[in-house]
Chains A and B, each alone.
Chain A
């Protein structure tokens, strides 16, 4: 067995042995024994290595949950005995997770019940509030590997329920009415008027709630559109609905016929299904992650009364706050402590630690590494430097929203339709006035925008699901059109072109003695510095059980320890005493008693698929914007970029300005980036894609999220979106043809009402079938 029995990671040597199974770390072994002793062994039955390596954080990391205000946010219900909380657990990924989490009560009896919502990655936990606190529950969850995420995500609206209600109602009406209208289709009721009238009244009663409730969002949307002098697709739909319903009601009450209630109910039913289908695709991803969901929810504030934990919104300028290891600076602050080591990788993309001294201004977003520090708040959370940029460009983006394809069409459609109806009415007034009403209503009904209304959500919805299956998650369907029009592609360098997971480690001396390797491996395991962690990861098979003493970490500079009387150092050349540089370009020295034994180079590597992507994107302008200096230019050129395409030392404002400049030249820009740094640029671009290694953390607002594993599919995504446009055109062509034919019959008053009634659902179904099959058959074998 080469992998940890619990989480599947590569085993170190020596591995942790328990119960004749091997584990990669004590954390995993602990979870195993916990599950075992509570007879939850079945956890391992459902999937192989289903476990998640638990995160070793502070034990009081969740203390802020005991503050009543913060706690109240997550508690859904409570009384004297129990409390119910809904927690987001992004680590949920398989059926074993459901098993474990729903059996939480076996691990801790104070948890009464727990229910998992897999798609939303949430769990609702009911617990005995007098015996266990929310923070203890959070700790328990973290212990077993399901650390709850308390970032403030905006809730995905629960439109599901009301949709289902409307669909259910419409479906019920549709089925029932068609059932008893069957005799009418065959003309049987012409002799049996009382039956026909009876079923007609029944149809009216049953379709009334459908008219009033199921279809109401169309009325609301059309009303809003007309009020703002803007016509969208819901306007002709509403007109059609009203005309159909009015005509049918008139027919029923004057006992002239059965009306078209069956078509009416069916029409509404299919329309709603189209919308529901579209909404379903976004259930598990929420795109407008609040900027503040990136920052911790609460912070320690120091005052004369002592330390208190407060929500970040309550911070005021001048407050003194305390930050501990791995916590993030919530707002621009001035450093009070003597020194601080900060990791700004989320802001600048650089993993090199930045040292700040007392009195320095520290920008929000940096992560503290090492000893606790004290800071004085300079500006409150919503006024810091980066948020400003983000908010600015956010406003610009809203006004650039692309008009939906069909909204443009529907404007002409409506105008033309009304003119045709009017003209026909007038003409028929001269020829045969009794037919005016029939003609006008038939025109409005048969000229159904339903084909238009349905083809868009189904085509784009299917496109979205295909893209989603291949790693690209779009914010909404308008992005598909924007994607198909892109002329220029801009790459961020750090984290996008480079792969943070695959840094290359190079040792200058491969022939060190075993003992030295062991020491190096052991030494590097003690620091959380990214370079040290990377070195240790490389040396995992050189682990042994030697013990080092007198371990000291000099934050940002290096680490040292003693073994068998000798002092070993690992760090920058300045630290080791061999020069004056400090981990520049990822160079780390390893020395024994002052003598350098090893020079280690850690180089960031570029993703392997980049050159291929470049060869496939020949029809687009390409640029690279990087916050670093030119040191990587030779490698970029080797990948296939031209020197003129690369721009360095770009700050967030520069990137956004660059994009705006290109847009002024008439280009449509797509920006691919990651990190908080790019939020402004992503918003300015026509399409902003955030690249993500881990789908659920730290993704700023963007138009789309791309799973890093699928970055090589980027050229294909453009093709998919263009194909979707083609399909839309085909469906549009079909619906125009249908409308022309139908209208010609309606105008000549030779359209039997029954035919119009059947044509409507028929055309809807055809369009749905057409668009779905066109998209799925083309890509059922994958989009490569």
Chain B
């Protein structure tokens, strides 16, 4: 039964970890623009040309 206390704390820590990540990502501007990335991922990389 005491196991539940431990599990609760652990799950809280995991959730807090994700929260911190979310806060960090937001502060760094990841969510400022939510449209352009959806288009950007469709661009293709140019195949590297051999040096002439």
A residues apposed to B, CB below 8 Å: 39, 42, 46, 95, 98-99, 102, 116-120, 158, 160-161, 164-165, 168-169, 172, 175-176, 179-180, 195, 198-199, 202, 206
Residue of B nearest to A172 (CB): B19
Instruction: Check B39–A117 contact: CB distance below 8 A.
Output: no
Closest-CB distance, B38 to chain A (whole angstroms): 9
Which listed residue (A42, A46, A175, A199) contacts B15, Cβ 8 A? A175
Q: Which of A39, A46, A118, A199 contacts B46 (CB 8 A)?
A: A39
Residues 2-36 of B contacting A (Cβ, < 8 Å): 4-5, 8, 11-12, 15-16, 18-19, 22-23, 26-27, 29, 31-36
Chain A residues lying within 8 Å of B5, measured Cβ to Cβ, are 195, 198
> Given A98-B36, A195-B4, A198-B5 in contact, is the A164-B31 Cβ separation under 8 Å?
yes
Min CB–CB distance B48 → chain A (angstroms): 12
Q: Nearest-CB distance from A100 to chain B (Å)?
A: 11
Residues in A with CB closer than 8 Å to B46 are: 39
* Interchain CA distance A118-B26 in the complex, whole Å: 18
In the bound complex, CA of A164 to CA of B8 (Å):
26
Q: Name the residue on A nearest B31 (C-beta).
A: A164
Shortest C-beta distance, B19 to chain A (Å), equals 4
Chain A residue nearest to B32 in the complex (CB): A160
B50 interface contact, C-beta 8 A: no
- Whether B44 sits at the interface, judged by CB under 8 Å, is yes
Cα(A39)–Cα(B8), bound, Å: 56
The chain B residue with its CB closest to the CB of A195 is B4
- State the CA gap A409–B38 with chains docked (Å): 43
What's the A-B contact tally at a CB cutoff of 8 Å? 63
Interface of B is mostly: helix
Smallest distance from the beta carbon of B11 to chain A beta carbons, Å? 8
Given contacts A119-B35, A169-B23, A202-B12, 12 further A-B contacts (CB under 8 A): A39-B46, A95-B39, A116-B36, A164-B31, A165-B23, A168-B22, A168-B23, A172-B15, A172-B18, A176-B11, A179-B11, A202-B8
Residue on B nearest A116 in the bound complex, by CB: B36
- Could you tell me if A117 and B33 are in contact, using CB atoms closer than 8 angstroms? yes
Instruction: Give Cα A164 to B24, complex, Å.
Output: 11
- Specify which chain A residues have a CB less than 8 angstroms from the CB of B11 in the assembled complex: 176, 179
- CB-CB under 8 A from B33, the residues of chain A are 117-120
Of all chain A residues, which has the CB nearest B7? A180
A179, B10: Cα distance in complex, Å:
13
Of the candidates A118, A195, A198, the one whose C-beta lies within 8 Å of that of B39 is A118
- For A176, the chain B residues whose CB sits under 8 A away are 11-12, 15
A179 to chain B, nearest CB (A): 8
Residues of chain A contacted by B32 (CB below 8 angstroms): 117, 158, 160-161
Cα distance A198–B16 when bound, in Å?
18
CB-based closest 10 A-B pairs: A95-B39, A118-B36, A172-B19, A117-B33, A164-B26, A118-B35, A168-B22, A119-B35, A98-B39, A176-B15
Q: How far is the CB of A71 from chain B (nearest CB, A)?
A: 24
Give the complex CA separation of A118 and B4 in angstroms.
48
B8 surroundings in chain A (CB, below 8 A): 180, 198-199, 202
Q: List 13 A-B contacts (CB under 8 A).
A: A42-B43, A46-B42, A117-B33, A160-B32, A161-B27, A161-B32, A164-B31, A165-B26, A172-B19, A175-B15, A176-B11, A179-B11, A202-B8
Q: What's the nearest-Cβ distance from chain B to residue A129, in Å? A: 23
Bound form: Cα–Cα A413–B39 in Å: 48
Q: Which residues of B are found within 8 Å of A158, using beta-carbon distances?
A: 32
Q: Which residues of A contact B16 (CB under 8 A)?
A: 172
Residues of A within 8 A of B29 (CB): 161
- Please tell me if the beta carbons of A169 and B27 are within 8 angstroms of each other in the complex: no
Q: How near does chain B come to A208, taking the closest CB pair, in angstroms?
A: 13
Chain B residue at smallest Cβ distance from A46: B42
Shortest beta-carbon distance from B23 to chain A in Å: 6
- Asked if A98 contacts B40 (CB within 8 A), the reply is yes
